[in-house]
Chain A
């Protein structure tokens, strides 16, 4: 038992969150000891305002009950304040003499309220608003006292004022600035907020400086005096004029501090054995006072404590929400605007709605919403992604719902939904179930919601909505799913990281990838293995080995598994064209193998459903047709109309064009399925507008559209280019699909890829750069050349064992 010792000073949200992250990464690495000044286990400080307002009780906001510390082997010292860090001997000492030696130390001492240095600040009845002790003191005071004065019109001050008002006190808020929440709202929104709070009975003294707290003969508060000489009565004064990082302990230990404890991007202080997270730190000169950044810091810090050594904290973009029931406000980024920015403003003062969006260089850089904040999460996402707005600019003010109906990108209806409304149509999960899981299980991320409720875990189309519900339920605690998401729980590496490593270091096997990128699991999982397999074979065609055990069953078996474990068989029917002879064979096979259903698919082919696995190879043999690849992340089908051969409107031979494309792309694996269509005229009978590549014939040539999708969310394909010849159609189509194959993340359809890189980028690569286009096309043809038809190979005896039982017994 010689584990290194990790000591944590501070039993609050930042410190314990770091420990939780550490325990998931590496549960047995350290002997962990935690010191907390308060006599309570870790609780959700963000929810103190609902406790003050009587909407929740302390028990409801505990995040880690005492049993959690015991179960995870964490030694907990409650009610003990560390007063000294001896860095030479590597020991911390508490005020009661308790000592603890450390190999690594984590400082998470948080912040303290700023007490105005004015006469009367120590009088009885002057309190701050920081912890559960303060909250309980306010609740008690509200029972016997009448006049409360809150100094500070920031988030904390307003929440305190609202809570005291709800508890029956007369409340005045004194604020130095001319409008409320001037760091979170612009003047207009601040005024609206003030009006709404005044209607609730709060009184405001703005542009007012407090000079003295007046006491009575018993040493208790009697009033507050201002710079202009006015004085108002008070028997309770709440100081909420800001917070200061707690750095006294760190400073006395000789650690460099500047506003907060100075930390690097790895959350290390100037002493590399000592880490610091949370409100006590100063990172790149910024000290944060909200919870979301603390969680981001905790994740990075835990990664380094776990000796993984990857990830760095680069600072946080913040968004704000006020936790006062019935008041909706949201702000993020540079909402004040200024030189070089444009503003889009919607103002309806009578209706109590105000929205301002700030745009710079075609990117959303700030948002300030009052009254209707349903789109807050969406704006915040656009802001963090730094996405070019383009055409979105015209609709952005009307919110996400104006952009589409349901779907991939997620839409903002969370706030207006009832608890019984269904969120996840795949798994039948209602909003109420999700909200309950979030509050009861203390969930903060979309991944946690997926795991606990199953919502958004199937088709994923409600992921955006779930994220919205998360945000509206937990407010600023909400952790947005990071843009550069790890491939899965086996690693912190992103899809791009894996791709780059496979390409730059010529990794050819799964083992090489897992070793090189230090996977946490010995052989991956059902999420990352298929992705890695695709990256290997698409980057190094003819060199990397395709691993059947890393393929989902459908791609391993070359048929589509059904709910009763039988399979469906879809033979290739290029361009949807068949012959009487093929149809006869299909009919004979259906009879011979007692196939329960024969169905025409949406892709102009015929599906034989309910085939037993043992019969698959014989079925293929009797059909004498090639695989239609209707089961893979691969080329599916090219849908066509009859075109100029028969149709009186047809301008080109679209059927032959479709057949040629399907022939060219045969056996092509891709990040996700790929569907094409060719229409013979703009009437577009082949529905080319909702395909990954849609080709529409016109009299003078062919128009190419890309990124369409008829699935989870209908997406209209975007115009890429118009070409003259059939050969050009093949080259441009092939080059676009190769670009997608080389650059898209596994399981991204072309629409997702386009959304990420932008149509302009694709045009540059495919339309403007002729040499590059040709090289892409050549690489595609090289990768596809000589690939065997999988059914033919299996009829010839390949992978025989896959299809037969190992043994049969009674």
Chain B
């Protein structure tokens, strides 16, 4: 039952299912994951929970390599999950692999 999770690389979607400069939500019991796509078609995954007050980062505006949380406008860097200065905090990030057009996420 948990095989998908323990197999580590889990197939998520085709890259075109995520809007450019946007995101989609991967629903998960242990907390949703936001899957982002930037203008260069790089894909990133962060726990969908802002380190500030748990806003859904997936609902934010994506610009450059950053997403702005919809609740109080904290800026979170997509590849590391770190909040931009002067805010401090970090959202958990997950490794992503794009194979052709298929997007995989590493869930340890």
Interface residues of A (CB under 8 A from B): 451-452, 457-458, 521-526, 529-530, 548-553, 557, 561, 563, 565, 801, 805-810
Q: Which residues of A contact B62 (CB under 8 A)?
A: 549
Listed by A's residue number, 20 A-B pairs whose Cβ atoms lie within 8 Å are A525-B61, A526-B63, A530-B61, A549-B20, A550-B21, A552-B61, A553-B61, A553-B70, A561-B70, A805-B25, A805-B27, A806-B13, A806-B18, A806-B26, A808-B28, A809-B4, A809-B5, A809-B107, A810-B5, A810-B28
On whether the beta carbons of A806 and B4 are closer than 8 Å, the reply is no
Besides A563-B53, A809-B26, 7 new A-B residue pairs in contact (Cβ under 8 A), listed by A number: A457-B73, A522-B39, A529-B61, A530-B61, A805-B27, A806-B35, A809-B28
Residue from the list B19, B25, B39, B71 in contact with A561, Cβ < 8 A: B71
The interface size bin for chain B is 35 or more
B99 touches A (CB below 8 Å)? no
Residue from the list A451, A549, A563, A808 in contact with B86, Cβ < 8 A: A451
On whether the beta carbons of A805 and B24 are closer than 8 Å, the reply is yes
Q: Which residues of A contact B59 (CB under 8 A)?
A: 553, 557, 561, 565
On whether the beta carbons of B53 and A525 are closer than 8 Å, the reply is no
Interface residues of B in 32-73 (CB under 8 A from A): 32, 35, 39, 53-56, 59-64, 66, 68, 70-73
On whether the beta carbons of B63 and A525 are closer than 8 Å, the reply is yes
Q: Which residue of B lies closest to A528 (CB)?
A: B63
On whether the beta carbons of B5 and A549 are closer than 8 Å, the reply is no
On whether the beta carbons of B26 and A805 are closer than 8 Å, the reply is yes
A-B contact count (CB 8 A): 91
> What is the CA–CA distance of A548 and B32 in the complex, to the nearest angstrom?
22
Q: Which residues of A contact B22 (CB under 8 A)?
A: 548-549
B12 touches A (CB below 8 Å)? yes
Q: Which residues of B contact A451 (CB under 8 A)?
A: 86
Q: Which residues of A contact B107 (CB under 8 A)?
A: 809
B101 touches A (CB below 8 Å)? no
A614 → chain B closest CB, angstroms:
9
On whether the beta carbons of A807 and B61 are closer than 8 Å, the reply is no
Q: Which residue of B lies closest to A565 (CB)?
A: B56
Residue from the list A523, A553, A807 in contact with B26, Cβ < 8 A: A807
> What is the CA–CA distance of A565 and B27 in the complex, to the nearest angstrom?
14
Interface residues of B (CB under 8 A from A): 1-2, 4-5, 10, 12-13, 17-22, 24-29, 32, 35, 39, 53-56, 59-64, 66, 68, 70-73, 75, 86, 107
A524 → chain B closest CB, angstroms:
6
> What is the CA–CA distance of A563 and B53 in the complex, to the nearest angstrom?
8
B53 → chain A closest CB, angstroms:
7
> What is the CA–CA distance of A553 and B62 in the complex, to the nearest angstrom?
11
Q: Which residues of A contact B1 (CB under 8 A)?
A: 810
Residue from the list A521, A523, A809 in contact with B27, Cβ < 8 A: A809
B25 → chain A closest CB, angstroms:
5
Q: Which residues of A contact B20 (CB under 8 A)?
A: 549
On whether the beta carbons of A808 and B39 are closer than 8 Å, the reply is no
Given A452-B86, A806-B12, A810-B2: A550 in contact with B61 (beta carbons within 8 A): yes
Q: Which residue of A lies closest to B18 (CB)?
A: A806
On whether the beta carbons of B10 and A809 are closer than 8 Å, the reply is yes
Q: Which residue of B lies closest to A525 (CB)?
A: B63
A456 → chain B closest CB, angstroms:
13
Q: Which residues of A contact B55 (CB under 8 A)?
A: 565
> What is the CA–CA distance of A801 and B68 in the complex, to the nearest angstrom?
20
Q: Which of A521, A526, A563, A801 has the most CB of B within 10 A?
A: A526
Q: Which residue of B lies closest to A530 (CB)?
A: B61
Q: Which residues of B contact A808 (CB under 8 A)?
A: 26-28
Q: Which residues of B contact A806 (CB under 8 A)?
A: 12-13, 17-18, 24-26, 35
> What is the CA–CA distance of A563 and B29 in the complex, to the nearest angstrom?
20
Q: Which residues of B contact A807 (CB under 8 A)?
A: 12-13, 26-27
Q: Which residue of A lies closest to B53 (CB)?
A: A563
On whether the beta carbons of B71 and A563 are closer than 8 Å, the reply is yes
Q: Which residue of A lies closest to B14 (CB)?
A: A806
> What is the CA–CA distance of A521 and B28 in the complex, to the nearest angstrom?
34
Q: Which residue of B lies closest to A554 (CB)?
A: B70
> What is the CA–CA distance of A553 and B28 in the complex, to the nearest angstrom?
22
On whether the beta carbons of B64 and A523 are closer than 8 Å, the reply is yes
> What is the CA–CA distance of A219 and B35 in the complex, to the nearest angstrom?
80
B33 → chain A closest CB, angstroms:
9
Q: Which residue of B lies closest to A547 (CB)?
A: B21
> What is the CA–CA distance of A551 and B63 in the complex, to the nearest angstrom?
12
Q: Which residue of A lies closest to B75 (CB)?
A: A526
Q: Which residues of B contact A530 (CB under 8 A)?
A: 61
Q: Which of A521, A529, A801, A809 has the most CB of B within 10 A?
A: A809
> What is the CA–CA distance of A58 and B54 in the complex, to the nearest angstrom?
44
Given A451-B86, A565-B55: A549 in contact with B27 (beta carbons within 8 A): no
> What is the CA–CA distance of A801 and B16 in the complex, to the nearest angstrom?
11
> What is the CA–CA distance of A451 and B75 in the complex, to the nearest angstrom?
12
Top-3 shortest CB links A-B? A526-B68, A806-B24, A808-B27
Q: Which residues of B contact A457 (CB under 8 A)?
A: 73
